[in-house]
């Protein structure tokens, strides 16, 4: 394996990781921001108010996007296995 192949494999893995995690993180960030605004307006400082909606939103996002995420992971794994003989040389 040449250094350029190793860099390409690492770059593809990091790109896929960012692509798969971005929607979930963005939803959690938006929900957290909305809850913070709600807490600032109403002056309710309950700790469970911040966690429960975020957890529900993240689970809903994972449920909605799970088939897309699995397809991306399967495609990446298939490409990696198909190119394995070329990588080993």
Question: How many Å apart are CA 12 and CA 76, to the nearest integer?
Answer: 9
Residue 38: strand, helix, or coil? helix
pLDDT above 80 (res 89)? no
Residue 24 has a pLDDT of 97
Residue 86 has a pLDDT of 84
> pLDDT averaged over the chain?
92
What residue segments make up the domains of the chain, in order of their start?
Answer: 3-88
DSSP conformation letters of 48-89: HHHHHHHHHHHHHHHHHHHHHHHHHHHHHHHHHHHTHHHHH-
Tokens 């960012």: give the residue: 18
- pTM for this one? 0.81
pLDDT tens-digit series, residues 33-48: 999 999 889 888 887 8
Residue 2 has a pLDDT of 84
pLDDT above 80 (res 28)? yes
């Amino acid at each position: 394996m040449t250094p350029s192949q190793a860099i390409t494999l690492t770059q593809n893995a990091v790109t896929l990781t960012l692509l798969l995690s971005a929607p979930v993180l963005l939803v959690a960030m938006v929900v957290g921001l909305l809850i913070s605004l709600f807490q600032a307006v109403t002056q309710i400082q309950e700790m469970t108010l911040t966690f429960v909606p975020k957890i529900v939103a993240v689970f809903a996002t994972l449920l909605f996007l799970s088939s897309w995420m699995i397809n991306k992971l399967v495609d990446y794994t298939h490409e990696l296995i198909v190119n394995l003989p070329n990588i080993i040389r």
